[in-house]
């Protein structure tokens, strides 16, 4: 069935290490998004992509990188430059149309060892 | 940028009670969305609103698009334990290329 798959569910990062979070969708959506969620806070936009091979920085892009080589995939790399990476990361894709409705994956919880 | 003020930040209610929460925007929105997030999961869309004054229900949930187009309300009637979670509002103005999210309302239902 259609949906958005994020993996892994839990991820641990060591000091100085880059880690990559996977996001795959089979909804045939053009636009995809990455959000960061901290306890008690809302969703903050990290990066978004409107179409393959194109992406834009969101509100908190520093210390993160993305790629969009395929329509179905939008991986997020948390680099060693991100000094406070512990958070819940959510990937979303957007349905066509002007309402901009987004559908979310189940999230990846990243912790620092 | 656009800001959404969602209130209350948290609510503790008895099972069976009704719940109300709201969001206000600093600018006019063309779309209002309400999501629910269960612990450790991603948000799930509950209701989408597309025009001012619109009132839409989804089971025990009812949401309204404010007539000023700067606010929206979500009501839950006869709450049950599985209503526990974080409720987010989200909206989009005509010029924006992405949604703006509220900070969420954490709902706890006491038995």
Q: Percentage of chain B with pLDDT > 90? A: 86
> Could you count the other beta carbons within 10 Å of the beta carbon of residue A39?
7
Q: How confident is the model at residue B3 (pLDDT cuts 50, 70, 90)?
A: confident
Residue of B nearest to A90 (CA): B42
The conformation of residue B82, written as its DSSP 8-state character, comes to: G
Nearest CB to B41; choose among A100, A103, A106: A106
Which whole number is the average pLDDT over B95-111?
90
Residue with tokens 């990476």: A85
Over 60: is that where the pLDDT of B92 sits?
yes
Mean pLDDT of chain B: 94
pLDDT score recorded for residue B1 = 53
Residue of B nearest to A94 (CA): B98
Q: Percentage of chain B with pLDDT > 70? A: 98
Low-confidence stretches of chain A (pLDDT beneath 50): none
What angle (nearest 5°) sits at the alpha carbon of residue A32, between those of residues A112 and B26?
A: 90
pLDDT score recorded for residue B45 = 96
Q: How far is CA B107 from CA A16, B22, B27, B36, B55, in A?
A: 38, 13, 27, 10, 22
């Amino acid at each position: 069935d259609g949906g958005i798959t994020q993996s892994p569910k839990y991820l641990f990062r060591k000091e100085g290490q880059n880690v990559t979070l996977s996001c795959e969708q089979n909804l045939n959506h053009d636009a995809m998004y990455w959000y960061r969620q901290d306890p008690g806070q809302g969703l903050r936009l990290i990066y978004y992509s409107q179409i393959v091979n194109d992406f834009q920085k969101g509100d908190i892009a520093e210390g993160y990188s993305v790629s969009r080589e395929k329509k179905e995939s939008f991986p997020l790399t948390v680099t060693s430059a991100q000094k406070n990476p512990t958070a819940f990361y959510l990937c979303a894709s957007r349905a066509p149309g002007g309402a901009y409705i987004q559908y979310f994956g189940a999230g990846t919880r990243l912790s620092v060892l | 940028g656009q800001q959404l003020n969602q209130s209350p930040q948290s609510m503790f209610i008895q099972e069976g009670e009704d719940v109300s929460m709201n969001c206000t925007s600093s600018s006019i929105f063309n779309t209002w969305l309400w999501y629910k997030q269960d612990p450790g999961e991603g948000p799930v869309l509950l209701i989408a609103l597309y025009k001012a004054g619109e009132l839409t229900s989804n089971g025990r949930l009812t949401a309204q698009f404010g007539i000023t187009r700067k606010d929206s309300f979500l009501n839950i009637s006869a709450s049950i334990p599985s209503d526990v979670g974080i409720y987010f509002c989200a909206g989009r103005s005509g010029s924006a290329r992405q949604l703006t999210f509220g900070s969420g309302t954490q709902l706890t239902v006491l038995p």
